[in-house]
């Protein structure tokens, strides 16, 4: 299944020789690992320099002229570095600010849903989940509506560099896209620093200027890039995997359409059951133990959201969507501890508005019969690669 449900649940950490890592599947063990950042380093998530990523040297040089090698990435940094970056990022995602983006994100969701024409098969992943999630984060960051599709294409091409084995020509194309994206974020930051608007790039520039020790321009550009990437694939993955689950489970889609008031708690279950993240990686800083299992210094530990979020001791009836369940937010779909997803308020808003736009318009949507469900190949995410549906007749919306 799309969401790691085949991984073992309820076992102590075990070493997986093929993956070369300790696999953590119990909720309590996940909390031990993710809640002890000084013992379990996030440097395991570091993607490496542009050259290590496979960028041709001439492009790597131009990328590093904007964001020099060694500029910290929030998700891959440890304390004290993480503590220097995170407060600024946290200041961006206040509930009030994210609520203010509701109209932009709702318009996007409704516009894309309106374009889903039946009765033939419609690929919901390519036609809705991917463009919606990419454009939502880009628009919120401050990219103009007419630029968003082009920038979305750059981000999609650039992300291949991180996720897929490419031949030399394809590496060059992806590296050029990454450079164009980095330049786009640099121009955005400079423009909003000079003339702020109501977007996240402006909020970032303004918040940084008021810090006692402001971050450098390169660090801010890196943060914008991190958000552009981190805000796209995870949202699209949850959306498509969860849609697959609802449409494949008799009556679940119709029940959700009939009870729009539960959408907030449905979203929480979506992130619990369909995060798609294969593993949250950490590296043991010294010899230690997790749930009674010794882990040696330097070992990689992979916390698996799929089985952890189905730990029966924490989530009774774990495999079913139970909106409003007790302790609904104790899942680790958004992580846990100091690296808990800083963009979670936007992720929740995206999912709420995307599901609502689809439920309102297409309450009779069905999976296209006997389709081979395709999963995209990416080391970090198990992502639906295609999701064919019959949208059914379109209602008012
Ligand atoms: C449903 C959608 C999303 C899911 C499932 C998700 C999941 C996660 C997870 C599991 C982590 C923790 C990684 C770790 O501990 O190593 C994380 C961190 C992060 N996420 Fe998300 N995310 C989502 C949406 C977003 C959005 C919309 C943004 C930004 C616009 C975003 C930005 C980030 C950033 C910057 C971090 C790093 C935080 C830190 O290291 O302090 N995410 N996300």
pLDDT, tens digit (0-9, with 9 covering 90-100), for 334-382:
999 999 999 999 999 999 999 999 999 999 999 998 777 666 655 556 6
Work out the end-to-end distance of the chain between its first and last CA atoms, rounded to an integer number of angstroms.
Answer: 31
Tokens of 388: 């064919």
Token pair 């590093």 is found at 64
8-state DSSP, 90: H
| CB of residue 346 inside a 6 A radius of ligand 1 | yes
Residue with CA at minimum distance from ligand 1 atom 6: 334
CB 348 within 8 A of CB 99: no
Domain spanning 50-273+342-390: CATH superfamily: Cytochrome P450 (1.10.630.10)
Query: Average pLDDT of the chain?
Result: 90
**What's the confidence (pLDDT) of residue 8?**
57
Separation of CA 231 and ligand 1 centre (Å): 7
Separation of CA 229 and ligand 1 centre (Å): 10
How far, in Å, CA of 195 to CA of 188, rounded? Answer: 10
Residue with CA at minimum distance from ligand 1 atom 39: 339
| CB of residue 335 inside a 6 A radius of ligand 1 | yes
Instruction: Return the CA Rg of the chain.
Output: 21
How far, in Å, CA of 322 to CA of 245, rounded? Answer: 13
Tokens of 252: 């679940």
How far, in Å, CA of 12 to CA of 290, rounded? Answer: 8
pLDDT per residue as tens digits for the range 253-277:
999 989 999 999 999 999 999 988 8
Tokens of 290: 């997790």
Say if residue 4's pLDDT is above 80.
no
- Contact residues for 143 (Cβ-Cβ < 8 A; gap 6+): 151, 184, 188
Helix, strand, coil % in the chain, rounded to nearest 5 = 50, 10, 40
pLDDT tier at 1 (50, 70, 90 boundaries)?
Answer: very low
**What's the confidence (pLDDT) of residue 3?**
43
Residue with CA at minimum distance from ligand 1 atom 12: 335
How far, in Å, CA of 31 to CA of 33, rounded? Answer: 5
φ, ψ of residue 381 to 5 degrees: the values are: -125, 140
**What's the confidence (pLDDT) of residue 160?**
84
Mutation probe of ligand 1 site: the residue of 341, 344, 353, 383 with most atoms within 8 A of C-beta: 341
Tell me the pairing of strands 374-376 and 280-284: unpaired
Enumerate the H helices of 288-395 as residue ranges.
305-308, 344-361
Say if residue 46's pLDDT is above 70.
no
Model confidence, pTM:
0.94
**What's the confidence (pLDDT) of residue 18?**
85
Atom of ligand 1 nearest to the CA of 232: 27
* Cβ count near 248 (within 10 Å): 13
Q: Which helix (H) or strand (E) holds 183?
A: helix 168-194
Separation of CA 75 and ligand 1 centre (Å): 8
pLDDT tier at 5 (50, 70, 90 boundaries)?
Answer: very low
Token pair 């960051």 is found at 141
pLDDT per residue as tens digits for the range 200-240:
999 999 999 998 888 999 999 999 999 998 888 899 999 99
How far, in Å, CA of 79 to CA of 67, rounded? Answer: 21
Tokens of 278: 């294969």
Taking alpha carbons only, the member of 276, 286, 198 closest to residue 240 is: 276
């Amino acid at each position: 299944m799309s969401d790691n449900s085949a991984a073992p649940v309820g076992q102590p950490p075990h070493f997986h020789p093929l993956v070369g890592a300790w696999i953590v599947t119990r909720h309590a063990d996940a909390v031990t690992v993710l809640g002890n950042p000084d013992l379990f380093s996030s440097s395991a998530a570091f993607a490496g320099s542009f050259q290590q990523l496979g960028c041709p040297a001439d492009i790597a040089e131009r990328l590093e002229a904007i964001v020099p090698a060694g500029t910290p990435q929030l998700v891959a940094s440890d304390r004290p570095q993480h503590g220097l970056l995170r407060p600024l990022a946290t200041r961006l995602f206040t509930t009030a600010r994210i609520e203010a983006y509701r109209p932009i994100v709702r318009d996007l969701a409704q516009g894309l849903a309106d374009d889903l024409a039946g009765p033939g098969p419609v690929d919901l992943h390519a036609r809705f989940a991917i463009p919606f999630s990419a454009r939502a984060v880009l628009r919120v960051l401050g990219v103009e509506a007419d630029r968003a599709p082009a920038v979305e294409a750059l981000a999609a091409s650039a992300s291949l560099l991180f996720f897929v084995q490419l031949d030399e020509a394809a590496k060059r194309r992806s590296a050029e896209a990454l450079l164009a994206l980095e330049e786009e974020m640099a121009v955005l930051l400079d423009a909003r620093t000079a003339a702020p608007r109501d977007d996240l790039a402006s909020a970032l520039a303004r918040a940084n200027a008021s810090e006692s020790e402001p971050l450098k321009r390169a660090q801010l550009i890196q943060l914008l890039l991190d958000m552009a990437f981190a805000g796209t694939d995870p949202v699209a993955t949850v959306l498509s995997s969860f849609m697959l689950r609802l449409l494949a489970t008799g009556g679940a889609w119709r029940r959700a359409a009939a009870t729009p008031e539960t959408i907030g708690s449905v979203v929480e279950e979506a992130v619990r059951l369909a995060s798609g993240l294969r593993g949250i990686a950490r590296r043991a800083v010294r010899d230690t133990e997790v749930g009674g299992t010794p882990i040696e210094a330097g070992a990689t530990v992979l916390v698996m959201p799929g089985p952890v979020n189905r730990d029966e001791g924490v989530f009774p009836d774990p495999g079913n969507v139970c909106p409003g369940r007790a302790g609904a937010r104790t899942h680790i779909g958004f992580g846990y501890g100091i690296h808990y997803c800083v963009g979670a308020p936007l992720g929740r808003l995206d999912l709420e508005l995307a599901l609502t736009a689809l439920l309102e318009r297409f309450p009779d949507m069905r999976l296209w019969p006997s389709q081979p469900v395709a999963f995209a190949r990416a080391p970090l995410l198990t992502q639906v690669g295609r999701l064919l549906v019959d949208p059914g007749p379109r209602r008012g919306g």
